[in-house]
């Protein structure tokens, strides 16, 4: 059933850093009734008129993965200290940004450690120009767990539907392998 909905549970398609094997993001949470209410409030803060959440949301992505048990995990894309894994800052969306050598990216594999396996993964991004019903877009933009030949639009739709079951509306952007 989970294979049909979200795809098979596999290891990462590309290499994993030592930091991703050792550390989890400090913002890591599973999608539950309780966390979904808070996540929904965070996402709706962009429409509140307060500029702080708009700037944060515009420049920082939320990573997500579906683990082998079908549980959805999410976190900000974080940069951590390479020795401790401690949060240094959320990793900006900007391609021009360059991390210092001792600042490591905690990507999708860090969301499912220690097993390092997931069914599908991607990002949730704030993009008020993308869709028609929501300023938030869910995609499968993960080089480790999301952009794979066996994953289809229906797998991403199943993830979107899982968020929708908790009242979180997301636009879809499927990236072909």
Rounded to whole angstroms, the Cα distance separating 165 from 100 reads 40
The runs of H, that is alpha helices, within 16-141 are 18-22, 33-44, 51-59
**65, 111 in Cβ contact below 8 A?**
yes
Counting residues of the chain whose pLDDT is more than 90, the rounded percentage is 71
Predicted confidence at residue 109, as pLDDT, reads 97
- Residues 5-24 pLDDT 10s: 999 999 999 999 999 999 99
- On the question of pLDDT at 43 being above 70, the answer is yes
- CA quadruple 112, 113, 115, 117: dihedral sign: positive
For 118-162, how does the pLDDT look when each residue is reduced to its tens digit (9 = 90+)? Answer: 999 999 999 988 866 778 999 999 999 999 999 999 999 999 999
DSSP states of 130-152: T-SS-SEEEE---TTTTS-TT--
For the chain, the domain total comes to: 1
pLDDT computed for residue 157 by the predictor:
98
The position carrying tokens 């082998």 is: 68
**Segments forming the whole domain that contains residue 55:** 2-173
pLDDT of residue 32: 98
Predicted pLDDT of residue 96: 83
In this prediction, residues 42-59 reach a mean pLDDT of: 86
b/e per residue 147-176 (b: at least 16 CB within 10 A): bbeebbeebbebbbebbeebebebbbbbee
138, HSE (Cβ side, Cα atoms, 13 Å) = 24
Interval 38-44 mean pLDDT: 93
């Amino acid at each position: 059933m989970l294979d049909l909905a979200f795809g098979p549970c596999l290891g990462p398609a590309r290499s994993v850093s030592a930091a991703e094997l050792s550390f989890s993001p400090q913002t890591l949470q599973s999608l539950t009734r309780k966390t979904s209410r808070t996540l929904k409030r965070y996402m709706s803060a962009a429409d509140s008129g307060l500029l702080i959440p708009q700037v944060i949301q515009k420049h920082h992505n939320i990573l997500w993965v579906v683990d082998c048990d079908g549980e959805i995990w999410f976190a900000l894309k974080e940069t951590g200290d390479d020795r401790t894994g401690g949060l240094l800052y959320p990793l900006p969306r900007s391609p021009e940004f360059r991390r210092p050598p001792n600042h490591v990216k905690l990507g999708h594999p860090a969301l499912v450690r220690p097993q390092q396996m997931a069914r599908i993964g991607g990002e949730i991004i704030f993009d008020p120009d993308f869709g028609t019903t929501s300023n938030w877009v869910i995609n499968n933009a993960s080089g480790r767990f999301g952009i794979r030949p066996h994953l289809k639009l229906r797998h991403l739709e199943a993830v979107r539907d899982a968020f929708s079951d908790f009242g979180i509306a997301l636009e879809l952007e499927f990236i072909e392998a």
